[in-house]
Structure 1
Amino acid sequence: MFSMILKLQAFFERLKKRKALWFTTITALALFGILSTLYYLNSMTHRTTKNLYEATNTSYFNELDSKIGDSIFNLEIIGSMLLANPEFIAAINLQNNTTAMMEKLNTLDANLKVIAKNSVVIELYTKNFVKVASSSTTPVMTTEAYDLESLQKVVATNQPQSGIEYQDGQVFLKALYPTANGVLEIKRSADFLFDTYQTNGKIFQILLDRDVLDMKKLQAFKHQKVGRNEVSVQAKADGSFLNKITELDFDKIIADKYILSDDYFVLAKPLLNVDGKKVGVIVVGESIMKENGLPKMTKKISTGLTTAALGLVVALLVLMI
């Protein structure tokens, strides 16, 4: 070991005597040090940014699950209150008296809106899945039976069900209850989540798989093809955002937890129906140009760290030389 140190010292002494070779060696070592340090800093920044974005995926969707869970819970409370009301039970048991049921539903729904301050809709179905009454100001009424898994499950099990489901051109949060004559449904359009996220400078969209939609019936409602196999059906939608993400592979985004495009930071998670089957995807997006937004703040921080570290490395190398 001692002899090796002596040999190295002798080697450096010979290099110092040959000035050109000495400065070339020092310059090469300095450049190698700078490039190695920059590579390490960039890779470290990339890993840190990736971890931050993945953590954001968990944070965003935990918050979303909480919002959806709270909303469905409120619908379940409303359903329990209605079924505990003798007047309501008497009204919905008035077979072949749709007018009386509609009047009672509208009266109750008006009171509920004052309390809940949201667009709760109450609807009644026969055991054959035909809608016979609705408290909506613009109800979709038809004599055709609905082919909805939630209705079928309530009738088959005679147990309440709740979840997210597409119906009549919209995606709804629902709570359903069996009754003596059919099914009571309390629902709220998922569009309220679009407004909630928009207030915070983010974009919320629900996209449904084409395979679960009746494309002929869908033509009567607002819709837009997005992605490889998804369709936007929300009444409230960000057209610019949908156009920018139209070529994205959402299955890959779900697997990777996020994607950072030229325009948006995009997160996605599967949308499950009342049976736990994937029927679409929930997408949350944020413009990368938004001030105080996560993408821009992260880029500023990583650029600042890299620049500061590079300056420090260069200064140390100059002092050493």
Structure 2
Amino acid sequence: MFSFIKAIQNLLGELKKKKGLWFTILSVLSIFGITLSMYLLTTMTTKIAEEVYANMSVTYKSNLEYKFEDKQKEFKRIVLGLKNNDNFKNNLSNKQIIDSIMDVYNKSLIESGFDSISMSFYPTVYQTSQYRTIINSVINRKITSFGIEVLPDGPNIVYIEPIILGENVLGVVEIKESLVSLKKDFERNKQSIFLALIQEKMMSHLAIDAKNGRYRPIVDDLRVEEQKYDGAFFTNVMEEGLTGFKELKDKGYVVNKEYFKTYKEMVDVNGVTIGYLLVGEKVKGNDGFVSIVDKMTKSVTMIALGLVISILLFMF
């Protein structure tokens, strides 16, 4: 072992006598060291950035779920107020009085700033076959239903609760709100963007006036009501095409030069996938987390590179 160390010392001594060769070797080792360090730093910061993006994707999806939960609680409170109305409770079989009560409640909602919410009552004194499938299902199963449904005026968030007396369902209260209301909720945070894409098969549920010239093909069989959503955002989805959308679904998120995007499948009240809800934000902007992550990783890389270069120069 001592002989080996001595041999290395002798070799270094001989190399130092040949200054040209010595500095050439040091230069090669320095370049190799810097290259290796840059590779390791880039790989490390890339992985950190990917972990941050993945966590942000989970956060966005969780926020979306929370907003749906908040909507359900909000609608439930509205129905509870209606159920405690004596005039409503005592006249469930009188269509004229019930219609008048519904008109009062709907006007009150508009006056209170909830202009996108509307309420309806479906009495069971009439044949249930005249109602749409989910209303009949709530009547028959006596269970509240909540979720997204594509109605003639477009995708809506619906809350449907049976009014039960003893064992009998006397009627069903429905509250609905346009899905675009979620866009407004997300826009309160100026960085966040919301987009709803529905499948082509759901277009048959829309009224002629609601779909003609309003929905634009995006990718595969997905369409967007273009007047209601951020045009630059869905255009970015279109530009990435089917390949980009497949990457979004496989990876859970996508980051390009313009946007960070993640998604959640849009499932209707019947448990059928009818499209996708996309949420994200612009990459550019001092307040955006994508911009913050980018600046952070670049700063860490530059600081670490500076330390590596300093150490290598010290070796000379």
2:148 corresponds to 1:156? no
1:291 matched to which residue of 2?
286
Paired AA for residue 140 in structure 2: A
2:151 corresponds to 1:167? yes
**Normalising by structure 2, what TM-score?**
0.86
The one of the two structures with greater contact order (alpha-carbon pairs below 8 A, sep at least 6) is 2
Percent identity between matched residues is 25
Report the Cα distance in structure 2 between the residues aligned to 1:117 and 1:55, rounded to whole angstroms.
Answer: 33
* Alignment counterpart, residue 201 of structure 2, candidates 186, 211, 216: 211
> Secondary structure in 2 aligned to 1:204?
strand
**Please, what is the CA RMSD of the aligned residues?**
2.5
2:301 matched to which residue of 1?
306
Report the Cα distance in structure 2 between the residues aligned to 1:37 and 1:17, rounded to whole angstroms.
Answer: 30
2:46 matched to which residue of 1?
46
* Alignment counterpart, residue 110 of structure 1, candidates 107, 111, 120: 107
> Secondary structure in 2 aligned to 1:245?
helix
2:184 corresponds to 1:200? no
Change in Cα spacing, 1:250 to 1:219, as seen in structure 2 (3 Å) is farther
Deviations 1:188-240 (A, max 9, x none): 22222211222212111121222344278567333222222222247621112
2:233 corresponds to 1:241? yes
Deviations 1:61-90 (A, max 9, x none): 212211110111110221233233232245
Higher helix share: 2
Report the Cα distance in structure 1 between the residues aligned to 2:229 and 2:101, rounded to whole angstroms.
Answer: 33
Q: What pairs with 1:184-195 in structure 2 (closer than 5 Å)?
A: 184-195=173-184
2:250 matched to which residue of 1?
255
**Normalising by structure 1, what TM-score?**
0.84
1:223 matched to which residue of 2?
215
Q: What pairs with 1:35-114 in structure 2 (closer than 5 Å)?
A: 35-95=35-95, 97=96, 100-113=97-110
Gaps of 5+ in 2: 164-168
Report the Cα distance in structure 2 between the residues aligned to 1:218 and 1:69, rounded to whole angstroms.
Answer: 32
Structure 1 residue 104: deviation in Å?
2.0
Gaps of 5+ in 1: 131-144
Q: What pairs with 1:20-39 in structure 2 (closer than 5 Å)?
A: 20-39=20-39
* Alignment counterpart, residue 123 of structure 1, candidates 120, 123, 131: 120
Structure 1 residue 35: deviation in Å?
0.5
Deviations 1:164-209 (A, max 9, x none): 2221232222211235565321122222221122221211112122
Report the Cα distance in structure 2 between the residues aligned to 1:85 and 1:70, rounded to whole angstroms.
Answer: 23
Paired residues in the alignment total: 302
Report the Cα distance in structure 1 between the residues aligned to 2:14 and 2:207, rounded to whole angstroms.
Answer: 87
Report the Cα distance in structure 2 between the residues aligned to 1:215 and 1:32, rounded to whole angstroms.
Answer: 64
